[in-house]
Structure 1
């Protein structure tokens, strides 16, 4: 019988960590990924060798961002989901902007800063590879952990938990573990088919750059730039008011 992880009687995060301790590779598919939440397991991913067969592959399906244009572009194609490379680059940048917005929410902490730097490092060294699935909406939540174990070489967790702290340990969810060899092999094929799909694009480099340009960067930001940013925000309403005044005045004059 499978174990049920509902984050009420049994949390998913502790058992996921225990399973990752003896792993050499992992494949995750989630609908939402929190950049600051990665530090909950990054120490276990650090042990990976960093190659396509010894890393963590993270596939992000449905994002809560304005991606309707992306899906529409695919549906207007030849039927095989193909669009031109320039469109893919444009959509990658647009979706990466949503991850940039994540880092503007909440107060930064030392733990978050250190965790984001480790995330950037793992993206650059390909211990973690992140792709976006753009062909269609994908709400699946699947965690596959591969281990050097003759009895259970692959352990799966299938359910409703996204890769966020609430999804893994707090809010009510419903997940089950998958230990059956045949079931795990079928789930692995399902993941691999989507990972290799043309509508699946790598955004690892873009995410590393976002982190390196944020408040979690290694180098210190010049106090002068901080002064300019504060001055801009303090004067923003006054500037907007002046623009509105002169614009409305010009409209009356033309009339």
Structure 2
């Protein structure tokens, strides 16, 4: 545990979870102001909080559905043994009943503040970006700062107390259900305007285990090849558009030998690869650049920039070479994987003669039908659900080939009719432009894939709610 810096980023050995647990040791009270509070964040601190006399949690944006359920249950049942709360969550339920924990809300507060008091008006504060959630305390990239000056602590405690006095209880009347539909609440005078966000920790684990059961993985297939793609180290120079390519060939027809079609990172969209024509200047170490005078003249104007690339500085590469050339045979049909956001992974099929540009991965095999089935699976809600779980519980923020090979459970159709329907939908999605039709076809495809994994309505709901939030 790294305690030698006041800054806390959730990097290795510098987790907010560890810092809070360290500072909570011996504390009399714990106050926190956050945008979002999920019960998984409570579990991260639960052991140290057992000895804390008073805990106040002020929430501004949203609470997890399990937190909301616990709050409501605390008002109904005198005997927690008779409640329908699971055993793990009964600890928080009991603490609320005992008034050890209070949870209140203040509309649209998104600040993050943690206050720990040792009594006698002394304590420390942590201010920053982390919500009281498991990702906020451990996995997300965050920036928090610990303030040990007691005057800072007293100033922030006074601010917290002011906000606490302005806050309200969390009740059904304070939940803005209209925000589920992307609408704006008509009641702008509420002191609390929270969203209840579905927390499905146990259900998520169960659904994930069901998806993984009896599944296959890319690594199980020897015929499938996966490569990272060409990394130039200077795309704006070594990858050129059609106009520059045509000009170089006009000056010297031999230039065509080293100008190869390539799919750039920003061309890959879900279900589609843009029609922009791009070409990589593909000159390998055993080739003589002087044999391509037009290309040499073009590159020479950027020689100083190209010389600054690390493989050139180290002597590993010549100034005109590409940084890395791990690629799928351009003649092979292939899937190009991409990640457009924190939890959206998909693969796009192409059978064009082309190289692919890193850092996206390309996957290839001889069977085009299998590639299109794999495309459907990787672009589905099921595997995006698995992807989001992996990202939320890992410090790894980039898609790696080992992830594609080993983390995604695959289930293939058992009969040709089902296989034909999946391929038909994939091919349709690559052709249509209408957003409504795309959504309908994606829904149809997801329904088929849900059936492949034998998922029931409740399990599908867990997947879709997890992806939504």
Measured at CA, do residues 2 and 193 of structure 1 come closer, stay the same or move farther in structure 2, by a change above 3 Å?
Answer: farther
- Deviation of 1:143 after TM superposition, in Å, equals 0.1
Measured at CA, do residues 98 and 25 of structure 1 come closer, stay the same or move farther in structure 2, by a change above 3 Å?
Answer: closer
SS of 1:26's equivalent in the other structure is strand
Matches within 5 A, 1:58-207: 58-63=57-62, 99-100=68-69, 113-134=86-107, 137-148=108-119, 153-197=122-166, 200-203=167-170
SS of 1:60's equivalent in the other structure is strand
SS of 2:89's equivalent in the other structure is helix
8 Å Cα contact 2:24-2:116 kept in structure 1: yes
SS of 1:191's equivalent in the other structure is helix
SS of 1:120's equivalent in the other structure is helix
Partner of 2:181: none
Q: Which has the higher contact order (CA 8 A, sep 6+)?
A: 1
Q: Which has the larger radius of gyration?
A: 2
What is the aligned counterpart of 1:43 among 25, 44, 47? 47
Partner of 1:109: none
Is the aligned partner of 1:5 residue 2:8? yes
Partner of 1:20: 24
- Deviation of 1:181 after TM superposition, in Å, equals 1.5
- The answer for unaligned runs of 5 or more in structure 1 is 49-53, 65-94, 101-111, 207-213, 217-232, 235-255
Partner of 2:38: 34
Alpha-carbon RMSD: 3.5
SS of 1:31's equivalent in the other structure is strand
Measured at CA, do residues 46 and 63 of structure 1 come closer, stay the same or move farther in structure 2, by a change above 3 Å?
Answer: same
SS of 1:156's equivalent in the other structure is strand
SS of 1:61's equivalent in the other structure is strand
**CA distance in structure 2 between the aligned counterparts of 1:32 and 1:179, rounded to whole angstroms:** 25
- Deviation of 1:14 after TM superposition, in Å, equals 0.6
- Deviation of 1:204 after TM superposition, in Å, equals 8.7
- Deviation of 1:46 after TM superposition, in Å, equals 2.3
Name the count of aligned residue pairs.
161
- Deviation of 1:36 after TM superposition, in Å, equals 3.1
**Per-residue displacement from partner, 1:12-45 (whole Å, max 9, x unpaired)?**
1111001111101011000000023312212222
If the length of structure 1 is used for normalisation, what is the TM-score? Answer: 0.55
Measured at CA, do residues 124 and 138 of structure 1 come closer, stay the same or move farther in structure 2, by a change above 3 Å?
Answer: same
Measured at CA, do residues 23 and 11 of structure 1 come closer, stay the same or move farther in structure 2, by a change above 3 Å?
Answer: same
Q: Indicate the structure with greater strand content.
A: 2
Q: Indicate the structure with greater helix content.
A: 1
